[in-house]
């Protein structure tokens, strides 16, 4: 994943006693894995190309923990949210 920049953001929820922590690691060539601990169900991983202004969309595998995301795109911002 040389040269790839990944940013993770976690938005805390009042419905949680403890917010999960996000982890980003390498996967197959050209991909990264985003996971969270504790692996509490009901969360969705979202992505946006920029934070000014953000345009969050669900990652196609965003309800899976871990989720696999492309690592060949320009920088992306990720967040974990609970609908």
Instruction: Give all domains of the chain, ordered by start, each with its CATH number.
Output: 6-81 (2.60.40)
What pLDDT score was predicted for residue 1? 46
**Structure confidence by residue, pLDDT tens digits, 33-79:** 999 988 888 889 999 998 888 899 999 888 899 999 988 878 888 88
pLDDT digits (tens, 9 = 90+) for 23-41: 889 999 999 999 998 888 8
pLDDT of residue 7: 58
Token representation of residue 56: 């969050």
Q: Residue 8 in contact with residue 48, Cβ under 8 Å?
A: no
Asked if residue 9 has pLDDT above 90, the reply is: no
Q: Rounded distance, CA 81 to CA 72, Å? A: 24
Choice between 36 and 4, residue whose per-residue pLDDT is larger: 36
């Amino acid at each position: 994943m040389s040269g790839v920049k990944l940013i993770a953001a976690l938005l805390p929820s009042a419905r949680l006693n403890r917010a999960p922590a996000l982890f980003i690691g390498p996967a197959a060539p050209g991909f990264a894995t985003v996971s969270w601990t504790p692996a509490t169900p009901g969360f969705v991983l979202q992505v946006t190309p920029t934070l000014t202004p953000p345009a969050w969309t669900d990652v196609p595998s965003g309800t899976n923990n871990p989720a696999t995301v492309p690592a060949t795109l320009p920088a992306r911002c990720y967040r974990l949210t609970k609908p």
